[in-house]
Chain A
């Protein structure tokens, strides 16, 4: 069975600090997809990134960066120079080829609080 673990329940930082969110996943499949979503106070989950299991290249998008390491089954997310607008709950999710085709398995989420 597949599983996603986000061990950090809440992270509080002061604006302009960097923050890294951890995500560890489990799956028996060799083909799978990993996602990060942001849930602001408005409630709607917003897609941030998708990574497939064959692409371990790290990615940077503005202040966001992602580090995918198959060797440790981790897909960590870093926000550089955090801003108050980054305050939200962030979810890591997994969709694997056979374990649960088409169904996203979510982690428990990490609440990020950025104070001015």
Chain B
């Protein structure tokens, strides 16, 4: 089975801190995605990557950046955490755009910024 692993299940960070959320997939998927999930808003795409060292902005990239130095790892970076970035963050990967299963998701990181 494809596995997408997010390094932390829960994180508490202080306002202004630089925060790294790590995501690793083990099935050689080309595509990786970062979403944030908020009640009533569903999942919103932050950034995605179709290849190593490649990144594209999603719908809500402000306040975030990403890094993909290796195919299996896709990191989300909060340059200066703010309280409005308190959310559930979900990483996902897929083989290609028409992958039958859509995405494979990690279990999520619930980030609280205080």
A residues neighboring B (CB under 8 Å):
4, 6, 9, 33, 35, 37, 42-45, 47, 50, 91, 93, 95, 101-104, 106-109
Nearest residue (CB) in A for B104 is: A47
A108 in contact with B45 (CB, 8 Å): no
Q: A43-B88, A43-B110, A47-B103 are in contact. List 18 more A-B contacts (CB 8 A).
A: A9-B40, A35-B102, A42-B107, A44-B108, A45-B103, A50-B100, A50-B102, A91-B43, A95-B97, A95-B98, A101-B97, A102-B50, A103-B45, A104-B33, A104-B102, A106-B42, A106-B43, A106-B44
Contacts of A43 in B (CB 8 A): 88, 90, 107-108, 110
Contacts A102-B31, A103-B48 known; A47 to B102 CB distance under 8 Å?
yes
Nearest residue (CB) in A for B108 is: A43
In angstroms, how far is the closest chain A Cβ from the Cβ of B91?
11
Contact residue among B40, B48, B92, B102 (Cβ-Cβ distance under 8 Å from A95):
B102
Contacts of A108 in B (CB 8 A): 40-42
Q: Bound state CA distance, A103 and B98, in angstroms?
A: 10
In angstroms, how far is the closest chain B Cβ from the Cβ of A54?
13
B25 close to chain A: CB less than 8 A: no
Q: Bound state CA distance, A104 and B50, in angstroms?
A: 14
B97 in contact with A109 (CB, 8 Å): no
Residues of B63-113 at the interface with A, using a CB-CB cut-off of 8 Å, are: 88, 90, 92, 94, 96-98, 100-108, 110
Nearest 5 pairs of A and B residues by beta carbon: A102-B97, A108-B42, A43-B108, A106-B43, A45-B105
Render B18-37 as a binary contact track against A, CB cut-off 8 A, 1 for contact.
00000000000001010100
Contacts of A107 in B (CB 8 A): 42
Residues of B45-66 at the interface with A, using a CB-CB cut-off of 8 Å, are: 45, 48, 50, 58
A44 in contact with B100 (CB, 8 Å): no
